[in-house]
Structure 1
Amino acid sequence: MAENQAALGNRISTVLARRLGGELLRLRDAAGLTQPQAAQVLSATAAKVAKMERGWVPFRDPDIVALCELYGVSDKHFVKGLLDLARLDRERRKAKGWWQQVPRVGGLAEYVAMEEVATHIRTWQLALVPGLLQTADYVRALGVTSDWTHPDEIEVLVSSRLKRQARLWGDDPVNFHAVLWEAALRQQIGGVEVMRAQLNHLVEMAALPHIHVQVLPFRVGAHHAVAGSFNLVSFAEPGALDVGYAEGVASTVWAEGAEASAAYARAFERVSRMSLAPQASVSLIDAISKGM
């Protein structure tokens, strides 16, 4: 997992806490205040503030509210995003959440935990349909090619993937923006029938107001995100609390700091601008489906 055990008893630095701590650090710097000044409003020590800003301790809601007031943050929606992130981090530390009960999820558990409270998710995919938009048969086909060889294990993978997709429904669905390279639409995962059903599902999902699907066609040639796929997760207004996530063959890359996550955001915006508009993208997806 993307966690580091430190010589602080049983305290753990999590991705969620480090991102939240980094945001509080950014707000404190913008307000021109020191750690001792922040500690004073919490009736705590500067050492505690340092641990909070580094993500080594769980965050209490009253502390977040007090610090936001001290730093002059008046946007209630933004503060709520911080509180939601802190709540999920506390649950994450206690191993709550359905994703914790799924065997062999590994480092993806931290990502799924963030997905649960995200307000906005952007994803760039070179070769596969994004997980939140995959059909059950498409997931099964992927499972067969992985090291999840037993049918029961593959069904666990399918079930967990479908549970993740619940974030696209309900009263407060996540805003989802996916940009796919054309190769992801033409690679016949599971064969023609499975892929045709997958593409038709993409068209249906793209019709929802909170889901935006774009396609980067082959004819564009070289582009800014050729190096690999990635996700960008936001917890408030896009850009305010972004975390970049990219899976490699043997490791996972987390872009937690403002500068690193901004680099991913710029790459996404560039590839989005080079891609077809949503309506033209849906037309291309439909044409590829009918041509199979």
Structure 2
Amino acid sequence: MAARTDPAALRWLVGIELRHFRSRARISAAAAGKEIRTNQSKIAHMESGRYRQKPDEVAVLLKLYGAPQSEVDRVVAIASQDDGPAWWEPWRKVVSDDFGIFLGLEGMAEREFRYDPMGVPALFQTEAYAMAVTALSHRVSIDRQDMVVELRMERQRRLFEEEPLKVHAVIEESVLRRVAGDATAMRDQLERLIYLGELPNVTINVLPTARGIRAAMFGDFNLLSLPSGREVVYLESLYGSEYVYDRDAVRGYNLMVNSVQADMLDEQESVDLIKSVMAEAT
């Protein structure tokens, strides 16, 4: 498992597992509370991840819910991890609570799929490109733009660790032609995409504008695959963020990823198109 742990993200993970198994067992929060000599309010707090869950109580509840022993062991192992500061603590001033959960999950993830119809994914951005898009954001004050970019660069270090994050990104062709910053910054960004695409843990596919309507219907999203076996979809919009963790709902996103395979260019074709866009700009 990656070293970038985050206690809030760990509590969140334990909470969704408790909620999942209780819902499946059709046991009320009040009944669950009686099993560990507490009330339904505490069960709600445990499921929200508001407070750290005690491993022994997690085990008792999961057994009550009929979870297989392998699942009990898996969730208890998550609940037993050491508490401590989040890896992104130095950038807390520019991290909302919801985004903090995402950063924690990304720090623990083994794989990440990213579809972005509007811009280059954050994990692939150059500093100049990141600064250009951050400067346009109404969410970031001028005095904190540098901190946002610094955090983005720190996230990218996971691509080069001994056990690197495996990333598969699908990028719209229009993104390659949409200038952020000036022409030099954009050229550097395209060169960065080519460089990153050569890494064994990075896959970049371009979705041609002529056949991208299927993916565009879903909008941008991140699909994180965690060491625990859980997959989580993270959605972000102007109005906030949302996590999709129900297994059936996540399966829908996986089906979308599979369906778009027929529309996107393969890796070499994607590189060729990026180089073609660079040549057009000279």
Scaled to the shorter chain, the TM-score interval is 0.7 to 0.9
Counterpart code for 2:270: S
Using the alignment, how far apart are the partners of 1:169 and 1:85 within structure 2? Answer: 28
Between 211-220 and 20-29, report the one with greater CA deviation: 20-29
Matched residue, 2:267:
278
1:288 aligns with 2:274: no
* Structure 2 contact 207–265 (Cα < 8 Å) conserved: yes
CA RMSD of aligned residues (A): 3.5
TM (norm. structure 2) is: 0.77
Residue identity in the other structure for 1:206 = G
Q: Give the match for residue 173 of structure 1.
A: 164
Aligned to 1:251: 240
Out of 214, 236, 254, the position equivalent to 1:265 is 254
- Which residues of 2 match residues 18-37 of structure 1 at below 5 A? 18-24=12-18
In structure 2, relative to structure 1, the CA distance for the partners of 1:252 and 1:47 (3 Å cut) is same
Alpha-carbon distance between aligned partners in 2 of 1:118 and 1:201, rounded to the nearest angstrom:
23
Q: 2: distance between equivalents of 1:85 and 1:123? A: 28
Distance 1:65 1:133, change over 3 A: farther
Preserved CA contact (<8 Å) 1:185 1:288: yes
- 1:132 aligns with 123
Distance 1:82 1:144, change over 3 A: farther
Alpha-carbon deviation of 1:207? 0.8
Which aligned pairs between 1:59-70 and structure 2 lie closer than 5 A?
59-60=53-54
Per the alignment, residue 105 of structure 1 pairs with: 95
From 177, 180, 198, the counterpart of 1:186: 177
Query: Does the CA-based 8 Å contact 1:121-1:231 persist in structure 2?
Result: yes
User: Within 2, Cα distance between the matches of 1:85 and 1:127?
Assistant: 37
Q: 1:287 to 1:105 in 2, by over 3 A?
A: same
Q: Deviations over 1:22-64 (max 9, x none)?
A: 335656889x89799xx8xxx9458689554554542345666
1:101 and 1:222 map into 2 onto residues whose CA distance is 37
Aligned mates of 1:158, 1:173 — CA distance in 2? 21
Q: Percent of pairs identical after alignment?
A: 25
Amino acid in structure 1 at the alignment position of 2:70? V
The residue number in structure 1 matching 2:68 is 71
Structure 1 residue 194 displacement after superposition: 0.7
The structure-2 alpha-carbon separation of the partners of 1:228 and 1:16, relative to structure 1 and needing over 3 Å to count, comes to farther
Aligned AA (2:137): S
Instruction: Say yes or no: does 1:235 pair with 2:235.
Output: no
Work out whether residues 85 and 117 of structure 1, in 8 Å CA contact, stay in contact via their aligned partners in 2: no
| Equivalent residues of 1:127, 1:184 under 8 A apart | yes
The letter for the 2-side match of 1:175 is K
SS at match of 1:176: strand
User: Any conservation in 1 of the 2:88–2:103 contact (CA below 8 Å)?
Assistant: no
What is the deviation of 1:279? Answer: 2.1
Give 1:141's match in structure 2, choosing from 118, 132, 136.
132
Is residue 2:148 matched to residue 1:157? yes
Using the TM superposition, give the Cα deviation of residue 276 of structure 1 relative to its aligned residue in structure 2, in angstroms: 1.2
Provide the rounded CA distance (Å) in 2 between the counterparts of 1:164 and 1:133: 10
The answer to whether the 8 Å contact 1:215/1:275 transfers is yes
Note if 1:215 corresponds to 2:231: no
Structure 2 residues without counterparts, runs of 5 or longer: 1-7
AA of the residue aligned to 1:285: I
Distance between the aligned counterparts of 1:114 and 1:133, measured in 2?
Answer: 18
Change (3 A) 1:161 1:290: same
The alignment's TM-score, normalised by the length of structure 1, stands at: 0.75
Q: What secondary structure, in the 3-state scheme, does the structure 2 residue paired with 1:73 have?
A: helix
Q: Which residue identity is paired with 1:20?
A: V
Residue-by-residue CA offset, 1:145-178 (whole Å, 9 max, x unaligned) = 123453x422112111111112212112111111
* Post-superposition offset of 1:290: 2.4
Deviations for 1:52-97, whole angstroms, at most 9, x for unmatched residues?
A: 45545423456668869x7232899xx3x97458748x54xxx633
Q: Secondary structure, in 3 states, of the residue corresponding to 1:96?
A: coil
Counterpart CA distance in 1 for 2:201 and 2:264 is: 19
- Ranges in structure 1 where 5+ consecutive residues have no aligned partner: 1-13
Number of aligned residues:
265
* CA deviation after TM superposition for structure 1 residue 108, in Å: 2.0
